[in-house]
Amino acid sequence: MPEPKIIDDAVQAAAGGGTMGAVFFFLRWTWMQVTGRADRKQMLIDAQEAKVDREWETIREELKAERQADKLRVDRIERQNQALRFAFHHVAAALIRIDPQNPAITQAEQMLATAFPVDFRLLAEQAESAISAVPIDG
């Protein structure tokens, strides 16, 4: 009966190999599922980050363009205000020569001072420091 022993050993070896093959197949399949899901999640996260980066870049460019437009507008308004102030002083100087007691000049100067306050403290400090820097010959 040596034959059945060899066949039994062959069957057991085949069954053991098949079981090991199934175990390795299951482990490989499980590993691929876990890593595949992680890879898919990472791809989705990367795509979402790229989308957010593009949106932020668009927002930055829009803000930069708006800031530049605002700067140009403020510069234009400042030039207009300066021109109006100079024009007023020229007209006021001519009017003072003609009618020095005209109350409209005083009222217009007060309106300009309210609309465009000038801080004379810095000018006064500079004048005082300039005066104190001049040597007194005695």
Rounded distance between C-alpha atoms, residue 64 and residue 68, angstroms: 6
Average pLDDT over residues 117-138: 61
> What pLDDT is stored for residue 50 in this prediction?
94
**Average pLDDT score, the chain:** 78
Rounded distance between C-alpha atoms, residue 134 and residue 111, angstroms: 37
Q: Which parts of the chain are beta strand (E)?
A: none
Rounded distance between C-alpha atoms, residue 50 and residue 72, angstroms: 33
Longest Cα separation, the chain:
144
For the chain, give the percent of residues with pLDDT over 70. 70
Q: Retrieve residue 17's tokens.
A: 């190999």
Q: For 54-79, what is each residue's pLDDT tens digit? A: 999 999 999 999 999 999 999 998 88
Domains in the chain: boundaries: 2-118
Q: Quick check: 87 pLDDT over 50?
A: yes
